[in-house]
Amino acid sequence: MLSTISLYPRMLPYIFGENHEGINLNLGGPIIGEIKYFEKDGRPSYDTNRLVNNEFIAGLWENISLITAIVGRNGTGKTSILKSIKNDELLAIDENNQATYTNERLIIYYSPFLSYNEERDEGNNVINISKYSQLKSDLKGDELGISSLLEVHNSEFIKRLITLAFNESVYSELLSLGLPEIDYIKVKLLKMNEKDWNISMNFRPFFDLLDEIRDNERIKREQFFIEKLGLTDHFRENEEYRKESYKIRLEHEIINSIILKIKRILEYTGNRYLEEGFVSEFENFKDFQSYKDAFYWFIDNAYFEFSKGSRILFPVENIKSFTEKLLSMLNKQENFDNWLEFHCDKQDAYELIDLYIKFILSFKRNFTFDDYPILEFSTNKELSSGEKAMFEIFSLMNEVKANIERGIIENMPSSDKYLILLDEADMGFHPTWKKKYINLLVKILPLIFVDKQIQIIFTTHDPLTLSDIPASNIIFLDKGQDNKTILVDRKTKNTFGANISELLADSFFVEDGLIGDFAKSKIEEIINWINENKNNKNRSEEFFMKLDFYKRIIEIVDERILKIKLSEMISELEGNTEFRKRVILKEIDNLTNQLEDL
Q: pLDDT tens string for the chain (598 positions)?
A: 999 999 999 999 999 999 899 999 999 999 999 999 988 888 888 898 999 999 999 999 999 999 999 998 888 999 999 999 999 889 999 999 999 999 899 999 999 887 765 666 788 899 999 988 888 887 766 666 667 778 888 899 999 999 999 999 999 999 999 999 988 899 999 888 777 788 999 999 999 999 999 999 999 999 998 888 887 777 777 888 888 889 999 999 999 999 999 999 999 898 888 888 999 877 788 889 999 999 999 999 999 988 777 889 999 999 999 999 999 999 898 888 888 999 999 999 999 999 999 999 999 999 988 888 999 999 988 888 889 999 999 999 999 999 999 888 877 777 899 999 999 998 878 888 888 999 999 999 999 999 999 999 999 877 778 889 999 999 999 998 888 999 988 877 888 887 766 666 665 665 655 567 788 888 889 988 998 888 877 788 889 999 999 999 998 888 787 888 889 889 888 888 889 889 888 888 877 887 777 6
Using the CB atoms, write b or e for 322-342: b if 16+ within 10 Å. Answer: bbebbeebeeebeebeebbbb
Q: Tell me 232's DSSP state.
A: B
pLDDT number for residue 428? 79
As a whole number of angstroms, the distance between CA 23 and CA 90 comes to 11
Q: How far is CA 150 from CA 117, 153, 343, 545, in A?
A: 19, 5, 21, 51
Residue 32, SS3 per DSSP: strand
As a whole number of angstroms, the distance between CA 304 and CA 43 comes to 56
Contacts of residue 444, Cβ cutoff 8 Å, sequence gap at least 6: 170, 173, 174, 394
As a whole number of angstroms, the distance between CA 522 and CA 532 comes to 15
Task: Give the predicted TM-score (pTM) of the model.
Answer: 0.84
Pairing between β-strand 277-279 and β-strand 64-72 as defined by DSSP bridges = unpaired
Residue 61, SS3 per DSSP: coil
Pairing between β-strand 126-128 and β-strand 106-110 as defined by DSSP bridges = parallel
Q: How far is CA 381 from CA 49, 157, 158, 174, 182, in A?
A: 56, 13, 11, 16, 7
Q: Look at residues 189, 342, 157, 168 and name the one whose alpha carbon lies nearest to residue 256.
A: 189
As a whole number of angstroms, the distance between CA 329 and CA 364 comes to 27
Q: Look at residues 569, 542, 566 and name the one whose alpha carbon lies nearest to residue 556.
A: 566
Count other C-beta atoms under 10 Å from residue 209's C-beta: 16
Number of alpha helices (DSSP H) and beta strands (DSSP E) in the chain: 18, 19
Instruction: Write the Ramachandran bin of 528: left for phi over 0, alpha for psi from -120 to 50, otherwise beta.
Output: alpha
